[in-house]
Structure 1
Amino acid sequence: MTRRALGLADLPDDHDLVRAGVGTLNVRDTASVDGEKISLHGPARHLARVFSSATPWFDITRVGPDAVAPAYIADSPVGRVALFLRPLSEYVCLPMNEGAAIMDMVEATINDAVAEATAPSGGIVTSRRYDGAAEPAIANIKVLENGVLQLAAPPLDDSGQLTVRDLAAGEQPGAAVRALLSVPA
């Protein structure tokens, strides 16, 4: 399914969802094509409405020597979804029920990504909160080869880089990042 079919064609190229790379989506048995007309059915119609009105949304990406694995969590007045990249460039979409706390999903996704990055050779989990035209809020977790976790987040240091600190023993990476991303930019 293309950007046009998802209702994203009219979004400017710098819109959050376009910048995130959500441009095409394969949704089985949820669309019909009649010439130039594409009709969405069931879940695809709902996804198009969520994507076209999502704010805020979160980009959580694990980067390591073995893979780059992004996840996107979108919150919209019409619903919430979480997208996870799986092998062969296939996104798995999880609709979230209305009662689900979006930040609970963000925290769990960060914890899972950090756990995957921990063995065997480390990596980084980048997390961003996009909210309208505001600058994104950023908090990253670096997983060192010895298992130490470091949090990089604002404020910027004297050299213009994110401030880095080791997470304390028992401090959960998802909770640390959640606290920083819970506050709108």
Structure 2
Amino acid sequence: MPDSMTPAAPGLPEAAYRVTSHELLALLSFDRSAGTALTRRVLGLADLPEDHDLVRAGIGTLNIRDAVEIRGEQVTLLAQAQVLARILATSSQWFDITRIGPDSVSPSYVVDSPVGRAAILLRPLSEYVCIPLRDDVDLFDFVESTVDEAAASMAGAAEGIVTSRRYRGTADPVVANLKAQKSGSFQLAAAPLDDQGQLSVRDLATSERPGRVVRETLAVTR
């Protein structure tokens, strides 16, 4: 991907760029494809018409940041905005890894498409930080390391869950949830469903790495 729309914040890679939820709504309004529908589903974004106030607000801030060109009624995406919109509109697969603690929720996503891939972090005030990933990056490696990092931050905590989901097309997501135990171990909730229709739960052995277990669970083809 090209360089960022806005300067990367301290602690973020130089290639990272940031967009707001309004700007994402605007980008998604340009192409109503299956990939766009999948993106909306994963990120929980409404399917709004082009003339909706929130979409227009997104276009307005993109324009201020020179990310679109406006000529009369014609709006054309430029540079980074165009690249991101293409990735979201052609997305074929998403991973959602969310750490849920007693005081905060920290979602992170990975999107894959024929035209590019990116990691996306949701920050306070509906700010999405997009980090481009090389084509040779193994997405399951990325997911595994993200889960391990989240699990390490909760080790021994009285509360804490790492939810992981893999989305493809219109199928139900593959789910793998980790719950932290006071002992420092974790419980895994994943398919198959039990007699009550709930995810089956088991304790992870001390020799099992949380990230590897989640990776293997999400890799199951259904």
TM-score normalised to the size of structure 1? 0.86
Partner in structure 2 of residue 161 of structure 1 = 198
Structure 1 runs of 4+ with >6 Å offset: 24-28
What is the alpha-carbon root mean square deviation over aligned residues? 2.5
Shift of 1:159: 1.9
Q: 2: CA distance between counterparts of 1:148 and 1:169?
A: 7
Larger % of helix: which?
Answer: 2
Shift of 1:21: 2.6
- Segments of structure 1 that go 5 or more residues without pairing to the other structure are none
Partner in structure 2 of residue 53 of structure 1 = 90
Contact 1:8 1:51 in 2 (8 A): no
Percentage of pairs with the same residue = 45
- Please point out which of 92, 115, 118 is paired with 1:81: 118
Partner in structure 2 of residue 31 of structure 1 = 67
Shift of 1:119: 6.0
Number of residue pairs matched by the alignment = 184
Are 1:135 and 2:172 an aligned pair?
yes
1:106-161 CA-to-partner distances (Å, cap 9, x unmatched) read: 11111122223336443111111111122211111111233221111111112221
The residue type equivalent to 1:4 in the other structure is A
Are 1:4 and 2:19 an aligned pair?
no
Greater mean alpha carbon deviation, residues 154-163 or residues 16-25 = 16-25
1:45-100 CA-to-partner distances (Å, cap 9, x unmatched) read: 11111111111111111111111111111110111111012233322111101111
Q: 1: CA distance between counterparts of 2:177 and 2:154?
A: 13
The residue type equivalent to 1:79 in the other structure is G
Shift of 1:7: 4.8
Q: Please list, as runs of the form range in 1=range in 2, the aligned pairs for 1:102-117 lying within 5 A after superposition.
A: 102-117=139-154
Larger % of strand: which?
Answer: 1
Contact 1:30 1:43 in 2 (8 A): no
Partner in structure 1 of residue 78 of structure 2 = 41
TM-score normalised to the size of structure 2? 0.73
Partner in structure 2 of residue 19 of structure 1 = 41
Q: 1: CA distance between counterparts of 2:44 and 2:88?
A: 9
Distance 1:155 1:22, change over 3 A: closer
Q: 2: CA distance between counterparts of 1:123 and 1:33?
A: 45
- Segments of structure 2 that go 5 or more residues without pairing to the other structure are 1-22, 46-54
Greater mean alpha carbon deviation, residues 170-179 or residues 15-24 = 15-24
Q: 1: CA distance between counterparts of 2:210 and 2:73?
A: 47
User: Partner of 2:43: helix, strand, or coil?
Assistant: coil
Distance 1:150 1:49, change over 3 A: same
User: Partner of 1:57: helix, strand, or coil?
Assistant: strand
